[in-house]
Amino acid sequence: NAGVTQTPKFQVLKTGQSMTLQCAQDMNHNSMYWYRQDPGMGLRLIYYSASEGTTDKGEVPNGYNVSRLNKREFSLRLESAAPSQTSVYFCASFMDRGRGTEAFFGQGTRLTVV
Amino acid sequence: SQQGEEDPQALSIQEGENATMNCSYKTSINNLQWYRQNSGRGLVHLILIRSNEREKHSGRLRVTLDTSKKSSSLLITASRAADTASYFCATDDNNDMRFGAGTRLTVKP
């Protein structure tokens, strides 16, 4: 089992460019989440998908869109990147949200917007 | 806004000492979890305590939960240099999982 795989690991974008961060899990989990981590801020929830076919906004959704392509894959898209989106992005998956199951995290995508 | 708030923000101790980190939260929860993050890596789950539990142990880890005070503590006993990492509490309230800003633990050999 690979667990949660994120691609790419590093990316530099120019302001206004777009890109999609990919996340895939092979644990047959229902719930998948996208977080961003900034220094001193901990992890902030961007979007989540409680199950295949559903997505919901988290704490900081502005400037992002998501797609739950199938049960395995949950992508995060930046349509027009801004320097404020420079961050480390983490994807996580859970068997079932809110039922006391642990989260499994990917290794992160370090994004710099210049 | 973040649900959990860890305290202290940073902690530096000598190898062999115990390390205690605290977490406070704001709303009712189903459970509270602690995670560890090594520099440049993703978070790794350490331990989960349910809202009806008061204390839980796992190896050198001891977690307590006081729902009346909306607080939890993580104790790492007999710390090792390899315990150097950031530690986060996460609250699960059936809507989403929120993380605090973390405690940066440094264990000096």
Query: Tokens 């729902």 belong to which residue?
Result: B67
B1: pLDDT strictly greater than 50:
no
Pairwise CA distance, residues B37 & B84, whole Å: 9
CA dist., res. B25 & res. B63, Å (int) = 15
pLDDT higher than 60, residue A98: no
The residue-averaged pLDDT of A43-60 equals: 92
Least confident span in A12-16, A103-107, B59-63? A103-107
Query: What pLDDT shows up at residue A12?
Result: 97
d(CA B35, CA A103): 9
In sequence order, what are the residues at sequence separation of 6 or more whose Cβ sits closer than 8 angstroms to the Cβ of residue B63? B32, B34, B47, B49, B55, B56, B57, B72, B73, B74, B75
Q: Which residues contact A62 (CB under 8 A, 6 or more apart)?
A: none
Minimal C-alpha gap between B22 and chain A (Å)? 15
pLDDT of residue B67: 94
- With bands split at pLDDT 50, 70 and 90, how would you rate the model's confidence at A94? confident
Does residue A1 carry a pLDDT above 80? no
What does B75-94 look like in DSSP terms, one character per residue?
Answer: EE-S--GGG-EEEEEEEE-S
φ/ψ region of B93 (left if φ > 0, alpha if ψ in -120 to 50, else beta) reads alpha
Identify the residue with better confidence: A111 or B101: A111
Indicate the pLDDT class of residue A100, thresholds 50, 70 and 90: low
- Nearest-by-Cβ selection for A45 from B33, B43, B96: B96
* Contact (CB<8Å) B93/A105: no
- Percent of chain A clearing pLDDT 90 (strictly above): 78
- Whether residues A94 and B97 touch (CB distance < 8 A) is answered with yes
Tell me what the mean pLDDT of segment B16-40 comes to: 92
What average pLDDT does range B70-98 have in this prediction? 90
B34 to chain A, any CB pair closer than 8 A? The answer is no
Type and span of the H or E element at A43: strand A42-49
- Residue A68's alpha-carbon distances to A41, B73, B102, in angstroms, are 26, 35, 29
Give the model's pLDDT for residue A99: 62
Q: How far is CA A76 from CA A11, A13, A33, A114, in A?
A: 14, 15, 10, 19
Q: How far apart are CA B41 and CA B103, in angstroms?
A: 15
Q: Are B85 and A21 in contact (CB under 8 A)?
A: no
CA angle A27, A28, A29 (to 5 degrees): 90
- Higher-pLDDT residue of B97, A49: A49
Q: What are the backbone angles phi and psi of residue A14, rounded to the nearest 5°? A: -90, 150
Cα dist from B97 to A58, B18, B65, whole Å: 10, 28, 17
For residues A88-93, give the mean pLDDT.
Answer: 96
Cβ proximity of B4 and B91 under 8 Å: yes
Question: Are A103 and B90 a contacting pair at CB < 8 A?
Answer: yes
**Closest-CA distance of chain B to residue A35, Å:** 10
Residue A76 has a pLDDT of 98
